[in-house]
């Protein structure tokens, strides 16, 4: 299956309206599902929810955090990375800056800020964290807590090529347009599960990254 999920008129928000909605609708309360194997993150897809239940029984939870860096340009953009092809997990895929939560991190937000600095050299003085989205579960056993953040323009990046091949920006308006949200499917132990893809030019945004962007759309753009 490869088609838009919703045939609806895109919701248009100004930069100010978007960031105001994020501040009003999100918080920094850490969901219990980040570390509790008995609480399964809900995806809204029966096949995916079944997969997450199986993974929770078979694998230890791997708590992780990512940063959704939204650059406050005249037309806001989302800063994404292309992961190194040499990594053990999600090699070569498009992702947000982020990684596993370490004991040294004071909070998932601090994990996201630390990883953004380590991976692409995004100085935290440019970052204004706004709140957490819902926990997103993956087939690798990761429980990902995204931090949505406003990023001031003017930063300079230094790519850590051991982890990241490239960093690039995609217009927020493209990623938040449901007409660009393709729904693909695959089988997991006899049960069909779905996942999102948002191809942009030569970039193939899919899997957890596209799924988290879809959650951002539903949380901020829908009533």
Angle subtended at Cα 69 by Cα 6 and Cα 80, rounded to the nearest 5 degrees: 70
Written as six digits, the tokens of 47 are 């096949």
Q: What share of the chain is helix, strand, coil (3-state, %, to 5)?
A: 30, 30, 40
Distance CA 162, CA 93 (A): 14
Nearest to 31 by CA among 69, 54, 67, 63: 63
Q: Which residues contact 84 (CB under 8 A, 6 or more apart)?
A: 91, 92, 161, 162, 163, 164, 165
Q: How many domains does the chain have?
A: 1
pTM value is 0.92
β-strand pairing of 62-71 with 142-151: parallel
The length of the chain, given as a count of residues: 223
CB-CB neighbours of 176 under 10 Å: 23
Which residues form the domain of 187? Answer: 3-220
Domain holding 146: CATH number? 3.90.79.10
Segment-wise mean pLDDT, segments of 10 residues, the chain, 223 residues: 53 93 98 93 82 88 96 97 72 87 96 97 98 92 96 96 93 97 85 89 93 96 93
pLDDT score recorded for residue 89: 62
pLDDT score recorded for residue 1: 40
């Amino acid at each position: 299956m490869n088609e838009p999920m919703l045939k609806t008129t895109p919701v248009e928000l100004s930069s100010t309206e978007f960031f105001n909605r994020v501040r009003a609708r999100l918080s920094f309360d850490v969901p219990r599902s980040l570390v509790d194997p008995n609480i399964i993150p809900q995806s809204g897809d029966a096949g995916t929810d079944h997969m997450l239940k199986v993974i929770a029984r078979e694998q230890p939870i791997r708590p992780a955090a990512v940063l959704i860096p939204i650059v406050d340009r005249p037309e806001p953009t989302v800063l994404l990375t292309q992961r190194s092809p040499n990594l053990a997990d999600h090699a070569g895929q498009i992702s947000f800056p982020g990684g596993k939560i370490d004991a040294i991190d004071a909070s998932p937000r601090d994990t996201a800020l630390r990883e953004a600095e380590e991976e692409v050299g995004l100085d935290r003085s440019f970052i204004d964290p706004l709140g957490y989205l819902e926990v997103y579960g993956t087939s690798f056993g990761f429980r990902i807590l995204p931090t949505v953040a406003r990023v001031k323009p003017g930063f300079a990046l230094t790519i850590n090529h051991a982890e990241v091949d490239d960093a690039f920006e995609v217009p927020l308006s493209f990623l938040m347009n449901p007409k660009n949200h393709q729904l693909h499917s695959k089988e997991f132990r006899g049960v069909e599960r779905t996942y999102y893809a948002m191809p942009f030019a030569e970039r193939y945004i899919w899997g957890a990254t596209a799924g988290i962007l879809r959650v951002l759309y539903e949380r901020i753009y829908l009533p």
